[in-house]
Amino acid sequence: MANLVVMGAQWGDEGKGKIVDLLTREADLIVRFQGGNNAGHTLVVGEKTFILHLIPSGILHKDKKCLIGNGVVLDPEILCQEIDNLSANGIEVTPERLVISKKTHLIMPYHKLLDAAREAFKSGEDKIGTTGRGIGPCYEDKMARIGIRAGDFSKLDLLRSKIKKALLEKNVILKELYNQEPLDPEEVFKQIEPLAKRLTPYLGDVSAEIQNANNAQKSVLFEGAQGTHLDIDHGTYPFVTSSNTVAGNASAGAGTSPRALKKIVAVVKAYTTRVGSGPFPTEEKNEHGDYMQQKGSEFGATTGRKRRCGWLDLVILRESVRLNGPTDIALTKLDVLGGLEEIKLCTAYKYKGQTIYYPPQEENSLAEVEPVYETVPGWKEDISTCRTFTELPENAKKYIQKIEQILNVPVTIISVGPEREQTIRR
């Protein structure tokens, strides 16, 4: 199989974990290229459910190698916990199976404190509703060129001095602005030191790993986190995450050429969900939204928060297609829509008296649009046992075909349940 990117086309939680786990069978290396443990990717294998936050979703396949790219922000404490949890479930994450780029930035204790303090300090409507994992503050330090990187694990003196320098500024902010106890640099160093020693054997050259694999005709799967509309540039700013989530970042965030990205699979949930704050034009704060929330068990895999739910928004998806250029769509959670009399699809917006087909680009303008809906008949049948396209009820087929026709991208994977087998390939 050719190299491929799997990315979210909406506001995250589209079911990327399941699709990556499925496509891992056809890849040799699986690499995360952005985000951190704000992600929660769920994999259901038989009786067991795994939620992965940092380690690529390919790890359950024991013959595959996983990589954490330079574009990721890595919390060493969480990574060690994740390695231990997998080990307790019979999956050994050895340095032969997991390689961390020396250029990957590290989430430090003060990043988490700042994330929480800043959110707490904001008034109601300004709150982003972050996952509180320190993601934003860590990316800030990366851009400010004062970040600590995984490669520093093997140079403890450097690690100690970088923590000291970073805290010069952080402690003023923590104390003066947020009224918090300043951190002692030596205490922070002592907290990180054992993690550094444990993780040093995992450090490597991710770029070279990818190059070597490709030279040997092996294929690489780039696993996206979050979704296109949480992208720091193209998402609903400021209600976004702090990294580029679009497919193009797979090359910068893993250290490979854009020419290496052959296939791009956009994961699209059959309806829309969002966790945290920010505009959501097709949100249904009523019995329809409740139906999707309950039937789809829409709770955040990282924070446990109830996800906001609404109809499929083809306007934001048109933009996702423009930004990512997917070769394929993986349509997930189609089973959840079963049992509804009618289903709505948002095909355009009304904005400032005009009908528009792409989202307006001004900040927060998505809060001002009015969705234009097309209503289609639903289906009563339980489709979770369907394994071929032909078995699907006519109205489910028509729903899929409408999405293909409007987005002009083939739906080649249809997911009808959380398990590996509950999948239709076309």
Q: Are 15 and 333 in contact (CB under 8 A)?
A: yes
Cβ closest to ligand GDP, residue 281 vs residue 418: 418
For 85, 115, 144, 276, the CA distances from 75, given in Å and listed in that order, are 15, 14, 19, 21
- Pick the closest to residue 71 from 256, 253, 226, 204 (CA basis): 253
Catalytic choice (41, 105, 229, 234): 41
Nearest approach in angstroms of CB 22 to ligand IMO is: 16
Q: Are 260 and 214 in contact (CB under 8 A)?
A: yes
Considering the rule CB under 5 A, would residue 407 count as an interface residue with Mg ion? no
Which residue carries 């369907």 as its tokens?
Answer: 386
HSE value, Cβ hemisphere, 13 Å, CA-based, for 127: 15
Which two tokens mark 404?
């293909």
The residue within the footprint of ligand GDP, chosen from 301, 317, 343, 424 (CB under 6 A), is 301
Residue 13 annotated as catalytic: yes
Residue 75 annotated as catalytic: no
d(CA 409, CA 423): 19
Cβ count near 30 (within 10 Å): 24
Considering the rule CB under 5 A, would residue 317 count as an interface residue with Mg ion? no
Considering the rule CB under 5 A, would residue 13 count as an interface residue with Mg ion? yes
Considering the rule CB under 5 A, would residue 223 count as an interface residue with Mg ion? no
The residue within the footprint of ligand IMO, chosen from 34, 130, 332, 395 (CB under 6 A), is 130
Residue 332 interacting entry, from Mg ion, ligand GDP, ligand IMO, none, C-beta within 5 to 8 Å by type? ligand GDP
Measure the CA dihedral 108/110/112/117, to 10°.
Answer: -170
Q: Write the interaction track for ligand IMO spanning residues 301-330; mark x where CB under 6 A is met and - where it is not.
A: x-----------------------------
Considering the rule CB under 6 A, would residue 242 count as an interface residue with ligand IMO? yes
Which two tokens mark 73?
């922000």
Residue 104 interacting entry, from ligand GDP, Mg ion, ligand IMO, none, C-beta within 5 to 8 Å by type? none
Considering the rule CB under 6 A, would residue 336 count as an interface residue with ligand GDP? yes
Considering the rule CB under 6 A, would residue 332 count as an interface residue with ligand GDP? yes
Q: Write the interaction track for ligand IMO spanning residues 266-285; mark x where CB under 6 A is met and - where it is not.
A: ---------xx---------
Which two tokens mark 349?
């917006």
Amino acid code (one letter) for 127: K
Q: What does residue 46 show for φ and ψ, rounded to 5 degrees?
A: 60, -125
Considering the rule CB under 6 A, would residue 58 count as an interface residue with ligand GDP? no
Which two tokens mark 65?
């190698």
| Alpha helices, DSSP H, located in 65-223 | 76-88, 109-121, 135-144, 156-172, 185-199, 206-215
* Interface positions, 385-414, toward ligand GDP (CB under 6 A): none
Cα-only R_g, the chain: 22
Which two tokens mark 260?
């290496």
Nearest approach in angstroms of CB 239 to ligand IMO is: 6
Nearest approach in angstroms of CB 41 to ligand GDP is: 4
Give me the residues that bind ligand GDP (CB under 6 A), please.
8, 12-18, 40-42, 44, 296, 301, 332-333, 335-336, 415-418
Give me the residues that bind ligand IMO (CB under 6 A), please.
8, 12-13, 38-41, 128-131, 133, 135-136, 225-227, 230, 241-242, 275-276, 301
- Give catalytic residue positions: 13, 41
